[in-house]
Chains A and B, each alone.
Chain A
Amino acid sequence: MMRPSSLPAGFDGVVHAASRPVSASSAAAFRIAFGLLGLFAVGRFAAHGWIAELYIEPERHFKYLGFEWVQPWPAWGMYLHFALLGVASLGVALGYRYRLSIAAFFVLFTYVELIDKTTYLNHYYWVSLVGFLMIFMPLHRMASLDALRRPAWRRDTIPVWVLWTLRAQLGVVYLFSGVAKLNPDWLLHAQPLRIWLYNSGDLFLVGPLLQEAWVAYAMSWAGAAFDLTIVGWLLWRRSRPYAYLVVIAFHLATWVLFPIGIFPWVMILGTLIFFSPDWPRRLLAGLRGRPPPKAPFTLLSAAPPSWPARTAAVALGLFALAQVIVPLRHWAYPGEVRFNEEGYRFAWRVMLTEKTGHAQFRVTDPRTGEEWLAYPEDYLTPLQAERMAYQPDMILETAQFIADDYQQQGRDVEVRADVFVTFNGRPSVRFIDPDIDLARVAPGLAPKTWILPAPDGPDWAPLS
């Protein structure tokens, strides 16, 4: 690549540098892997019967604030939705009508995720974010049906911001996941790994080893060190191959030990983006016994960036800022985020907490003073009831489901909750203020004063 003598400086300089062309081959490989994983995920959902179990059978769904309008389709519509999602995934992988495919993928995938909080997973959130970013990335210029159909679209290069954006989106997962592990439970008590590993005692050969306390401590510290530093090791060219082997080993271990779905494969394939932009071409050349191809020669213009490029840069900067602020928003709430879960989601708290709850509701008719019990199982599926029992916003919504049900019968009732949770092996404690009428509490982002604070003192220490 030829470097002009005078390049723009300041903001324009950043925009200019971000548009530096690099080989498009690793980005194309990322697109193919992303599409195939999407297709695999759709097939997995269908094969496990989750489309019906999670989206068709439940009578009620837990809604995200502001997205109450997102509703499941009728049964045939949900199956059609997933079928279209599979087609869109395939379109992304093949690079066929790429922009349409990836836009459809983003909308269809995110819509499914927004139907019910019960199914929230960090890696699904990541897929939605990356799907959104990919709409604006020219990932179809190489190794795609689009490039075959329209040779004029074919390019060997893409702007470097594409790679750095994808790397950053992967990096935040590791970094914030590592930061979240810097807590006394994780570091000083090896919790929740102590509990989880102990229950993997029936694994062939290593099972008994996993039940040893020192193994839980070693894995806790190693896990935190991995999350906090792996991005640096992947960025450094000399350590990158070794770091990638560690990435593979780490994620395969999590795949064996925990029911973590496609997350390990997302990360194993996704982190390939940290390698040199032309690694697929080099790999293919190596497999064919040919010398590695030369980097594409491209002249970088010295002209100042256009206003669309500047606007895009500002938008990307704001997106990046949001990626930092959203995981840190829990600092705006009082109390322990792992207990009260205010700001827990969308913050890359991956495999961080062992929490289980038991919830029961008391319904009162204020006119008569009569009080009776209501059971979550009468309103929710077993999975919804289980997940609800330790997540305050879902507890609130369940109370309001119950109130709405009585409202439809012409009774204006108050609903209070008796909820007990255990957290990282601590004794179970009351979680929600039993005197608060949750039917009258408006959902929102304000601190939830009806969540009881986590107890203090030696009796509340996690298991060691």
Chain B
Amino acid sequence: MARLLVILVAAGLLGLLAGCGAGAPDDSEVLISLTDQVIVPTYQAAGAAAADLKTALDALCAAPSDGALQSAHQAWRDARGAWLRSAAMAFGPVAERRSGGLIDWSPIDPERIERMLTENPATSEDAVRNTLASTQRGFGAIEYVVFDPDAVSQLSDSATPRCEYLRALGAVIASETAAIVDEWTVSRNGDPAYRDFLTGRSSSSMLESAAVAEVVRTQVFLIRTLTDLQLAAALGLRGDGPDLSAIPGGAGGNGLADLRATVLGMRDVYLGDAGAEGLGVSHLVTPLSTAADERMRSQFEAALAAVDAVEGPLRAAIVERPEQVQEVYDRVMELRRTLNTEVVSLLGVAVGFSDTDGDSMR
């Protein structure tokens, strides 16, 4: 009788545990969905766009013309947009490989690029990857070459190594984004693919709460970069006068598209929905506070609307219509405050990477 009672109590407890939390997705479900439906597809899109850019640059160099140049411009914009959309997912392979220094570094150094082309040109993927500084490669360097008003004539001059350098730049971006996709998706030498490491699907995985913290912290740091280091500096809110160089990019005039892609990437991570039904950070916030979730959603929309309302290239708008850019800054700051206080608090994320003890507050 006693044994039967023990079995019944144990079965009841197990049933209780199994039934608990059935309504809301847990960390693991959110991480799996976020990885499979947002992060990996975003990197795959960035990889495909980078491959297209490489193809366009190869075609431009093979037969320089205004048409080929326009195609290269568009391919560059597409690839840059796809890459910046992944900025909100810049943890794991991107951080470990330090891919930012190969793909997208700002500002670039035109003088150093010209000196390199004259004195010791890097004309192969290997040379660009291993011998150049971050200020001489990536999207910024490609932009410098292909958005030059004399780009076609410069690239037609077979006496200069400009085309080989340009092809090598494209090859580095293409191979590096492919490598990132590879690390996210393919297991090698006994190490799990990062998608499995992050989501608890391998024998050596990250703790789920640590993985959620990693995702949220990346948003916190990205939005800080966007507000403090870019927009505030460009608008002159930091006290040294407007500094247009704080806005990444140059002659391509892609500042607004960059901004939009970055915020969209953050929204993808938050909603977990990059064109598909999926789970994101929102689905971890909602069970605790629908109000905080609604604030985040509406603030994303307000920030994107403010970006869309800016007329003309971002740098020109900062000078000629600063109130429009100030509006973008204010809306993104609102989003940042909700993220840094309510979302961080609800999800129990320590922003400061500290593992010291706390016995009065979290």
Contacts of A212 in B (CB 8 A): 20-21
Contacts of A390 in B (CB 8 A): 361
Surface stretch bound by B, among A15-23, A31-39, A58-66, A192-200: A192-200
| One of B20, B237, B341, B346 near A195 (C-beta < 8 A) | B346
Interface contact A120-B360, CB-CB below 8 Å: yes
Binary contact readout B249-293 vs A (1 if CB under 8 angstroms, 0 otherwise)? 000000000000000000000000000000000000001110110
Binary contact readout A292-334 vs B (1 if CB under 8 angstroms, 0 otherwise)? 0000000000000000000000000000000000000000000
Contacts of B338 in A (CB 8 A): 428
Surface stretch bound by A, among B110-118, B308-316, B347-355: B347-355
B190 at the interface (CB under 8 A from A): no
A83 at the interface (CB under 8 A from B): no
Interface size on A, residues (CB 8 A): 64
Closest residue of B by beta carbon distance from A201: B26
Instruction: List CB contacts (< 8 Å) of A259-307 with chain B.
Output: 259-263
Instruction: List CB contacts (< 8 Å) of B289-303 with chain A.
Output: 289, 291-292, 295
Interface contact B340-A356, CB-CB below 8 Å: yes
Interface contact A372-B237, CB-CB below 8 Å: yes
| One of B17, B346, B350 near A205 (C-beta < 8 A) | B17
A81 at the interface (CB under 8 A from B): no
A407 to chain B, nearest CB (A): 15
Interface contact B209-A199, CB-CB below 8 Å: yes
A375 at the interface (CB under 8 A from B): yes
In the bound complex, how far is the Cα of B52 from the Cα of A291, in angstroms?
87
Instruction: List CB contacts (< 8 Å) of B327-362 with chain A.
Output: 336-338, 340-342, 344-348, 350-362
Interface size on B, residues (CB 8 A): 50
Interface contact A260-B354, CB-CB below 8 Å: no
Closest residue of A by beta carbon distance from B237: A373
A258 to chain B, nearest CB (A): 8
A422 at the interface (CB under 8 A from B): yes
B24 at the interface (CB under 8 A from A): yes
In the bound complex, how far is the Cα of B232 from the Cα of A363, in angstroms?
14
Known A120-B360, A372-B238, A425-B289; contact A386-B350, beta-carbon cutoff 8 A? yes
In the bound complex, how far is the Cα of B361 from the Cα of A345, in angstroms?
11
Contacts of B224 in A (CB 8 A): 377
B252 to chain A, nearest CB (A): 28
Interface contact A351-B287, CB-CB below 8 Å: no
Known A375-B228, A382-B353; contact A199-B360, beta-carbon cutoff 8 A? no
B207 at the interface (CB under 8 A from A): yes
Instruction: List CB contacts (< 8 Å) of A230-261 with chain B.
Output: 258-261
Known A195-B346, A202-B207, A382-B351; contact A211-B24, beta-carbon cutoff 8 A? yes
B16 at the interface (CB under 8 A from A): yes
Contacts of A54 in B (CB 8 A): 356
Contacts of B295 in A (CB 8 A): 427
Considering residues A353, A385, A422, which has the most beta carbons from chain B within 10 angstroms of its beta carbon?
A: A422
A50 at the interface (CB under 8 A from B): yes
B239 at the interface (CB under 8 A from A): yes
Contacts of A352 in B (CB 8 A): 360-361
Closest residue of B by beta carbon distance from A215: B20
Interface contact A196-B239, CB-CB below 8 Å: no
Contacts of A208 in B (CB 8 A): 17-18, 20-21, 26
Closest residue of B by beta carbon distance from A387: B352
Considering residues B228, B238, B356, which has the most beta carbons from chain A within 10 angstroms of its beta carbon?
A: B356
B143 at the interface (CB under 8 A from A): no
| One of B18, B237, B345, B355 near A259 (C-beta < 8 A) | B355
| One of A53, A196, A372 near B362 (C-beta < 8 A) | A196
A403 to chain B, nearest CB (A): 14
Interface contact A195-B288, CB-CB below 8 Å: yes
Known A195-B345, A202-B28, A358-B337; contact A260-B358, beta-carbon cutoff 8 A? yes
Contacts of B232 in A (CB 8 A): 373
| One of B287, B341, B360 near A198 (C-beta < 8 A) | B287
Contacts of A194 in B (CB 8 A): 288
| One of B24, B239, B292, B354 near A383 (C-beta < 8 A) | B354
Instruction: List CB contacts (< 8 Å) of A323-369 with chain B.
Output: 344-345, 349-358, 363
Closest residue of B by beta carbon distance from A123: B359
Contacts of B20 in A (CB 8 A): 208-209, 211-212
In the bound complex, how far is the Cα of B336 from the Cα of A194, in angstroms?
24
A165 at the interface (CB under 8 A from B): no
Contacts of B24 in A (CB 8 A): 211
Interface contact B289-A372, CB-CB below 8 Å: no
B164 at the interface (CB under 8 A from A): no
Closest residue of A by beta carbon distance from B344: A356
Known A206-B17, A350-B359, A425-B288; contact A370-B341, beta-carbon cutoff 8 A? no
Interface contact B209-A202, CB-CB below 8 Å: yes
| One of A209, A350, A386 near B352 (C-beta < 8 A) | A386
A421 at the interface (CB under 8 A from B): yes
| One of B209, B336, B360 near A351 (C-beta < 8 A) | B360
Interface contact B352-A121, CB-CB below 8 Å: no
B176 at the interface (CB under 8 A from A): no
A304 to chain B, nearest CB (A): 44
Interface contact A353-B361, CB-CB below 8 Å: yes
Interface contact B354-A382, CB-CB below 8 Å: yes
9 contacts between A and B (CB under 8 A): A121-B359, A195-B288, A208-B26, A211-B26, A212-B20, A356-B345, A383-B354, A383-B356, A425-B288
Q: List residues of B whose CB falls within 8 A of some A CB.
A: 16-18, 20-21, 24, 26-28, 207-209, 224, 228, 232, 236-240, 287-289, 291-292, 295, 336-338, 340-342, 344-348, 350-362
The 9 closest A-B pairs by CB, nearest first: A372-B239, A261-B357, A382-B352, A199-B348, A208-B20, A428-B341, A386-B352, A356-B345, A202-B208
- Identify 6 new A-B residue pairs, CB closer than 8 A, beyond the known A208-B17, A344-B360: A209-B20, A261-B356, A382-B351, A386-B352, A425-B288, A427-B342
